[in-house]
Structure 1
């Protein structure tokens, strides 16, 4: 049975209110040649085994198969996922209703998110973490909006060009229809953000820097924090490779006020680009300006421990037009899996895994240098770095692809000054034999 929430009379009243005669008139802004009036030709229903065979056939058409060795990061990283996480995440205590509005019915979900918040705050070195945001790009945009709310009189934000290009595009989308202005900070010769521009910009509410940045370079977050706080702006540190904080100093130790980024590395498959996980944390004094949900611990009338949504100042909650955000959907299941991943590895496991990533990347970097390639930046990196070749690398890239290797990504599309330079990444999924095979092809 179809659920029809409105009567014909109600529909007519609403159309009159907006000055339209029919429902079709609501789509008048869409050009006729962009509309489809005929029925969509869908295939006949299949049996379960027919559908399995069909999906396998489609999977075999993929350019990059599961058998390919991927030496690309650029914001989406290939990591091993402990099998126990998939098993735990499928349990009914966790895989329940998306939004835990009824705490008495969603204690498993709420406790899981509470633990995720705790582990996230520890990983990022912050006081408070929320129940996640849609993805890393949305987290950055929400962090900048949060900075603008805190610094109410200031109308500008500064964003490093070292931040993932897609994330910066989302920020532009958020702010393009507002009164706020975005100032972009250039990349210096060392691959780090050039902060000298801050001295000549007034009215800055917040400054955002990513580390490791899109080009793989680890930023001087402590030095950046001193300069940003010297101009009385909110210091936002973003990231795309959360695993890096298992080895390098976390943003909280470097003075960041807000930390946000993509948590896909924490137990989530790449899955053609999503779903991801927007991790978000801040200093305790800024908590009430934080977007999204926050799960807290309490006790019931019998004194038993329980969990509830403590702060949820979003448009569908109590504050309505005064909400901190109206589109900061959280990723409940993804956050749960990230919490399981962090709990499974623990602090020691995260350090060992991070060290393994760094060591493999350094080995790949050293071997490429021996093969005649130039490492573009001398600055420290984590598990990815930028390479320039003295020859046209494209034919070699194609040969490696035929052998089952995805050898880096050309960053010229995003950074014209580095046209022909390739961003390489080595995680724990790449073996020494894989790296040697790539070097062998590069050396020919």
Structure 2
């Protein structure tokens, strides 16, 4: 696309405020859909009469789908834009959630639920990249840190899903009915919200002679960048801190602290509320202190909170630990996404790569923690998360804010090259990324 056509695209796009608000809606609905599934895990376990390890394998189904969604997301968003990415994701999310609910209530068995969760996970992974890429563009256009606020609305969505989930557990609402209502609501509402998305592929807030040239990045080039891998470590550790709570906290409170199903789901709601508070409060802290100090402090708080949950037998104090765990885990993932999307030339590919690394936590974490929990108890199985949170804190320097010069021609990271560079050696002299 030429500079003139890019400018026309920018001028005809929706306002930044409308774009930003539409992204808020999509983040909220994504959280709602995921928490709807998570809040009914105790009922699913009861219906299947599954062991802790078997529940870990079931969660892997969603993670497999998520990895597939992330793998294709960079190409879908790069070629079609985030709007189409969210639309495709909404259909997959709704279809997977509805069919999983029917499979649970109808007694179709473990394998059927597992397949449905693959579709649900695919939609989740694709939606994750799509909304983070377009959210990062809205953040750049707005000129201030708002990515944690986007993720705060995701947490609000999880609260909107977890609260009714706990109530549905207590009232024994059929899983199928619950999932059908939420699935249809999510699909229709997401499809409506994306009408206000702009086209992040060709949007540059201040076109100049030194503005980044929007060239496609070769498929695997971003994986050669050290910063991609280090930001991936941050996202991996903090995704495990967040994801392990989503997957295991209700069952850990039931098995380790003696709560009933409704109580376990209620504690998950407490965790998600702490995540929401941390993300709302985090934006001004990041603007004032920068990503790196905030990331390091977050990792420390998460470790303290997780330790209280595991080692303190008193339930009220354990719940205080859950609050600290949620606060500490709240900012890692959004800051990692912002760091990955700092350079608009590589945003779609790099966010996809970093998110893929992060989702290894969702793929490998459930069975590993489930296996450890089967032998040592779920609370002690969560000790695995400690190592990854510490690693995220140590790698936090990679999330440091980029200077404006780093996104100009000649300022790209080593190891990155465009598709044109990869196929045409003569273009090396005027490449914007290759070095």
Q: TM-score, normalised by structure 2?
A: 0.26
Q: TM-score, normalised by structure 1?
A: 0.26
Higher normalized strand content (fraction of residues): 1
Higher normalized helix content (fraction of residues): 2
- The structure having more radius of gyration, on CA atoms, is 1
Structure showing greater relative contact order (alpha-carbon pairs closer than 8 Å, 6 or more residues apart): 2
